[in-house]
Amino acid sequence: MNRKKAEHCFSLRPLATGTLVFAMLSGSALAADAFSYDSQYMFGDWDGYRTQLEKEGVKFDVNYTMESAANLGGGANSNTTMRYSDQWAFGASFDLQKLLDWQDAQFQVTITNRDGQNLSDQVADRRTGQLSSVQEVYGRGQTWRLTQFWLSKGLFDNAVNVKAGRVTVGEDFDKFDSLFQNLAFGSGQAGNWRGDRWFNWPVSQWGGRVKLNITPEVFFQVGFYNQNTANYDRGDGFRFDTNNSEGNLVPVELGWQPTFGPDKLPGNYRIGYYYSSVNGDVYGSWRDGGYQDKDHAYGGYILAQQQLTSQGGDASRGLGVIVQAVMNDHKTSKTDNYQSIAFTWKGPFDARPQDEIGVGAARIHVNSDYTRSLREQNRANGESDFDSPTYLPIQEGAEYDYEIYYNAHLTNWLALRPNLQYVTAPGAVSEVKDAFVGGISANIVF
């Protein structure tokens, strides 16, 4: 994790190694359509075997995501620095209806690996860290993990769907697709601000959900997930025991996915609530050198995503909007509320119908009880000098994150996405200068 900077600026070794390994495993990787623009995969169709396997019920996915970011000015460390992080995902899905004649059944397995460094460590004060992250693919343990290992089964003509195994909460709850590099604009925001309770990708846990498809557009689901902090530990990505279990997370969600108008513009609307039985510190109870009370955690969220326009009757192109909000309990949550709005423009140019432009703004607010506890701790420790290594920087108010990106669809298997980000009050610490960040990310489908 703490490698030399030079190893991470370009970090070609993981990409080259993974590419070589996958090429060896695929055997016929260099088929006629490999590396062609129209191929869905960089290594092509394996001389037709890949398509044949998918028709028979077996689909392989190998994806590589890299994100780099450079500090163009401001932040806690004003030096111009660059950091690189990446993620590999090796997945296979099995359509058990095709393979075993098991109606509406699917099995999924995915192994992931994250590596690299995060520029947010330089943007924010190291004693607090940034509330968001300028590289969303970084974090939650830079290690190999079994991220998905689950079975789903539809019942009553899939009116009810049950899913269980090693799962991530955000793959089902508070979910949508996003191309932003800043963490504050992606899917599963309820988990980003309660990461001690709600484990998003790539951290998995034992659990599952039951989904009721009320109509083709309306659904209701409830989940049950084991809370085990060992799931975060580096090197424990394949740990299956529950020895360190602390409690359980139970989210519930009502969703509506309509289409509007003659062009059938898609929408994705969700409202949810979660409860965690794990005890946490009550920030308003700090006195006599520690927190005196503990309590369970709860919160709620809303997600509204809607395609607003189409271009030439094509709903895959046009302007869309995404609005998100999270409210966490004021007792145990460091960030008690969050809001964001983002606009995307798909296919902005006729010559580039699959490119996309995105712009977003987010606000992440710190619980005032947590702010008060920091002041009380500094007072008790006799600390008043911000530059003292044992001083606790006061996180107060909100951090604001902004991003604009252009996603260039270079081929059907390669996208390159430059972006600019601006972070106001990184970590919600007023003494830290606003930061201007330049980033670039790439997604490769092998």
Q: What's the rounded Cα separation, in Å, for the pair 241 and 427?
A: 35
Residues in the chain: 446
Asked if residues 66 and 85 have their Cβ atoms less than 8 Å apart, the reply is yes
What radius of gyration, in Å, describes the C-alpha atoms of the chain? 23
Q: What's the rounded Cα separation, in Å, for the pair 247 and 225?
A: 9
- Quick one: pLDDT at residue 6? 39
Q: What's the rounded Cα separation, in Å, for the pair 344 and 266?
A: 14
Strands 294-307 and 290-291: unpaired
Nearest to 38 by CA among 444, 351, 410, 417: 410
- Quick one: pLDDT at residue 234? 65
- Quick one: pLDDT at residue 411? 95
- Quick one: pLDDT at residue 106? 98
DSSP per-residue codes, 364-409: EEE-HHHHHHHHHHHHHTT---TTSTT------SEEEEEEEEEEEE
Asked if residues 358 and 180 have their Cβ atoms less than 8 Å apart, the reply is yes
DSSP-derived 3-state class of residue 22: helix
Sequence letter at residue 191: G
Token pair, residue 249, equals 């997370």
| Longest pairwise C-alpha distance within the chain | 71
From residue 85, how far is each of 12, 67, 186, 220 by CA, in Å? 11, 5, 17, 36
- Residues forming beta bridges with residue 105, ordered by sequence position: 153
- Quick one: pLDDT at residue 405? 98
Q: What's the rounded Cα separation, in Å, for the pair 141 and 171?
A: 18
- Quick one: pLDDT at residue 27? 42
Query: How many other CB atoms are there within 10 angstroms of residue 37's CB atom?
Result: 11
Token pair, residue 72, equals 């163009």
Nearest to 320 by CA among 107, 138, 178, 163: 178
Q: What's the rounded Cα separation, in Å, for the pair 313 and 309?
A: 9
Q: What's the rounded Cα separation, in Å, for the pair 71 and 433?
A: 12
DSSP per-residue codes, 193-207: S-TTTS--TT--EEE
Nearest to 442 by CA among 11, 79, 71: 11
Asked if residues 172 and 209 have their Cβ atoms less than 8 Å apart, the reply is yes
Token pair, residue 197, equals 């309770």
Asked if residues 45 and 60 have their Cβ atoms less than 8 Å apart, the reply is no
Token pair, residue 111, equals 């192994």
Strands 144-155 and 105-116: antiparallel
How far is the first Cα of the chain from the last one, in angstroms, to the nearest whole number? 26
- Quick one: pLDDT at residue 242? 77
Residues contacting 364, CB < 8 A, separation 6+: 131, 132, 184, 193, 335, 338, 398, 399, 400, 401, 428
pLDDT in tens, the chain (446 residues): 443 333 333 343 444 444 434 443 444 444 448 888 888 899 998 888 999 999 999 999 999 999 999 999 999 998 878 999 999 999 999 999 999 999 999 999 999 999 999 999 999 999 999 999 999 999 887 889 999 999 999 999 999 999 999 999 999 999 999 999 999 999 999 999 998 899 999 999 999 999 999 999 999 999 999 988 777 766 667 877 777 788 999 999 999 999 999 999 999 999 999 999 999 999 999 998 899 999 999 999 999 999 999 998 899 999 999 999 999 999 999 999 999 999 999 999 999 999 999 999 999 999 999 999 999 999 999 999 999 999 999 999 999 999 999 999 999 999 999 999 999 999 999 999 999 999 999 999 99
